[in-house]
Amino acid sequence: MAGFTKTKNDIRQLTGSKRERAEKLVNKLDFMETQLRNLQKEIKGKGWVEEYQNGANQSGLKKSSAGEVYNTLIKNYTNALKQLEQLLGGISGEDELEQFLNND
């Protein structure tokens, strides 16, 4: 959760339900970031396409399951960052997104 240190400091300045929502969002973002990194490793190793076998006569290539999950999760991650940014008044969210996107 090192990437959210500044955000945690900003959250301490909030009070009441805003603070509670912001803390929950940071926990979810931390979890999603870990999962996104794991998915990136899998996609780098196996690629964006995988073979499938559907019964005896149907087979071929399809978008990888990891790729589909990654695409959905990155959208949710970005939306959660925007929500956090709104709660913090635009202080932190974009910094964390830029850090994540620039971190291979």
* Beta strands in 4-74, from DSSP E residues, in sequence order: 49-54, 58-63
pTM: 0.73
In a domain, 8, yes or no: no
pLDDT of amino acid 92: 47
In a domain, 52, yes or no: yes
CB under 8 Å to 62, separation ≥6 — which residues? 49, 50, 51, 52
In a domain, 69, yes or no: yes
Give me the domain span that covers residue 52.
18-102
Confidence of residue 8 (pLDDT cuts 50, 70, 90): confident
In a domain, 3, yes or no: no
In a domain, 13, yes or no: no
Interhelix angle 93-102/16-46, rounded to 10 degrees, is: 10
The count of domains in the chain is 1
Q: What confidence tens digit (pLDDT) does each residue in 32-59 have?
A: 999 999 999 999 999 999 999 988 889 9
Q: What confidence tens digit (pLDDT) does each residue in 84-103 have?
A: 888 887 554 445 556 666 66
In a domain, 92, yes or no: yes
